[in-house]
Chains A and B, each alone.
Chain A
Amino acid sequence: MGLLNIFTKPTPSLLRLPTGSFSVDREGCVLIGTLPSSFPAPLIDDIAQQVLALFREAAAAQLPLSEVVINYPSLKITARELRGGAIVFLCPKAPYATACLN
């Protein structure tokens, strides 16, 4: 019956915003994470790069930061600085949510 699968139309899928965390070193390499494998690696790298750049440039602007929280209507990104690298938490916000742990 598997032959029939050849004729079935591939179903488009939607990308979910994941809940989880990952850590990244000072070079921007992701070391370890709990994000689902369905979440694209380039997007994880993207988040890591932006967060590291924020920490780096804040220090250069004489405003060293140990933690940043980036708020979007449907996602909260929390990043803590770790000796030049960072640990990043992603927490999607549910509609009407009153609190988001992390």
Chain B
Amino acid sequence: MSARHKILLLDDDPELLEVYREILERLPSRPEVFTATSGSRGLAMLEGEPFRLLICDLKLPKMDGLQVLSIVRRKYPQLRTVVLTSVMDEQFRSRAYALGVDLFWQKPDCEQELQMFLECLESLLGREMEGGFRGVQSKSLVDIIQLECISQSSSVLRITNGQASGRIWILEGEIIDAEAGELNGEQAFHKILSWRSGNFESLAADTTRPRSIFKSYNGLLLESAQAFDESQNAAQAAAPSASGPASPLAQLSQVEGVEFVLALKDGDDAHPVARGLENPQHMSAWMRENLERFRELGDRLHAGPLEHIEGLGPQRHVALARQGQTEFCVGWTHSLTTAQICERMKEVLALWVS
């Protein structure tokens, strides 16, 4: 017999805790439900034993729910988290999701809502226990799109490649629209298909999405494959025949507007890798210090993990960001705007991931 999941329920109202404990214990997976009335007590309980799910209110005495979630995100990244609150404010919803919660739910006030909430919880609890096949690591985006289209599915594929992301709308096996950054329609589709690796998730179908793509999925995939082949041939022709493959930083520095690139891997402070920069040591120390400083500030403000920093200067602009285990400082020509830097920085990070 498999072990019962443990749920920790955090709310400052003891009566509500009792009600929810009874309700949750009746879930089909029969979880064990523990309760706490304060953030500090809840955190102490999380240290004591492994929990599967934390359900947390936002309004808590002394340490509020966002503070608790901020700590939980860092200390227990595997723990699934749900916010159950009466606070219906888009800012708090946004901040909670920025802190990595799995679900943000208004306290149910009718039987139907409660039932939906319980179904969501059961799904969260059972997500890794269910049968079926998971993991499409070796599948290309072309395979995934073909699979959706051949099976006549309706869905929205959300694809991320580093910090860049895009969506492809599929309705009854037909690709009807795509979006990637500022691009839409076929251009966006081809842009997404040019990404060599990344993650995808299948979202619920959006039947109201206006159609902007009218070609068949086979035609679109063929065009993308041709464009990729042509770009590969052009790159091979342009590359000097005697040299080996270009270094990753050399590729990053090809992005339009890049003046220099500096990369620093975790635990390798003494050896920053740079291109277009004469003395990377000083700059790498500055980069690491500021990324760390503003990451900590984000924690204190509960604004979510730091995305990137852009700096505008009279001589050149600069952007700092972290991608996986590597921190980047990219210098940009001063004619670029912040929006352009933001967009091109995503391109640089996507190239690095690829």
Contact = CB atoms under 8 A, between A and B. Distances in A.
Interface in A43-80: 43, 46-47, 50, 53-54, 57-58, 60-75
Interface residues of B, number: 48
Interface string B217-249: 000000000000000000000000000000000
Nearest to B67: A15
B314 to A, nearest CB: 6
Nearest to B285: A61
B102 interface: no
A16 B289 CA distance: 27
B290 A54 contact: yes
B208 interface: no
Contacts of A61: 282-283, 286
Interface stretch (A20-28, A30-38, A87-95): A87-95
Given A17-B91, A57-B286, A65-B311, A72 B60 contact: no
A14 interface: yes
Given A47-B297, A54-B293, A57-B286, A12 B307 contact: no
A17 B303 contact: yes
Contacts of B304: 72-75
Contacts of B66: 14-15
B93 interface: yes
Nearest to B60: A12
Contacts of B297: 46-47, 50, 70
B312 A15 contact: no
B58 A14 contact: yes
A69 B90 contact: no
B52 interface: no
Please tell me the size bucket of the interface on A.
Answer: 35 or more
Contact of A63 (B58, B305, B310, B311): B311
Interface string B284-318: 00100110011001101111111111111111101
B303 A72 contact: yes
A68 B311 contact: yes
A65 B309 CA distance: 12
B352 interface: no
B179 to A, nearest CB: 11
Contact of A14 (B87, B283, B289, B305): B87
B312 A46 contact: no
A16 B311 contact: no
A102 B95 CA distance: 20
Contact of B314 (A50, A66, A93, A94): A66
B306 A70 contact: yes
B307 A74 contact: no
User: Lowest 10 A-B CB distances belong to which pairs?
Assistant: A73-B98, A73-B304, A72-B303, A75-B303, A65-B311, A71-B307, A67-B312, A95-B94, A12-B59, A61-B286
21 contacts: A12-B60, A13-B59, A14-B92, A17-B303, A50-B293, A50-B294, A50-B297, A53-B293, A63-B311, A64-B315, A65-B311, A66-B312, A68-B312, A71-B307, A71-B308, A72-B298, A72-B303, A73-B95, A74-B95, A94-B94, A95-B93
Given A43-B301, A70-B309, A75-B301, 4 more contacts: A69-B310, A71-B308, A74-B304, A75-B303
